[in-house]
Amino acid sequence: MPPEPEQPERYDFEYKRNGTVNLFACFQPLAGWRHIEVTERRTKADFAKQMKNLVDVCYRDADVIRLVVDNLNIHTPSALYEVFPPEEARRIIQKLEFHYTPKHASW
């Protein structure tokens, strides 16, 4: 429909979904540090690989890495045991300290 005189032209917008991705965001606000990784899925294997990267690459000299995560089913230490051999999973988990947001909390 053409615009009325003296009115700007208007366009209708229809959103077309072209797929989805997962965004892993790790950050240390007081240090101004962040690590972002986009993955095609959000699986326990993807989470376990991110935790290994935090321990072995990002914070390899840290004694403990404190994580604040929500209650998503993949955010568990058991995810590492499903992906890595028990010794490797245990090594990674020993450096991680999980803190979960309240179950009905909103980000």
In a domain, 33, yes or no: no
Domain, as residue range, for 63: 44-100
Residue 80 · residue 43 · CB < 8 Å: no
In a domain, 93, yes or no: yes
Is a pLDDT exceeding 70 seen at residue 1? no
In a domain, 21, yes or no: no
Is a pLDDT exceeding 90 seen at residue 98? yes
In a domain, 75, yes or no: yes
In a domain, 107, yes or no: no
Is a pLDDT exceeding 80 seen at residue 106? no
In a domain, 73, yes or no: yes
Tell me the pLDDT of the chain averaged across its residues.
91
Q: In this structure, what is the dihedral angle of CA atoms 32, 68, 26, 89, given to the nearest 10 degrees?
A: 130
In a domain, 10, yes or no: no
The CB-side HSE value for 62 (13 A sphere, CA atoms) comes to 18
In a domain, 28, yes or no: no
Tell me the pLDDT tens digit for each residue of 8-49: 887 777 888 888 899 999 999 999 999 999 999 999 999 999
- Position 105 scores a pLDDT of 74
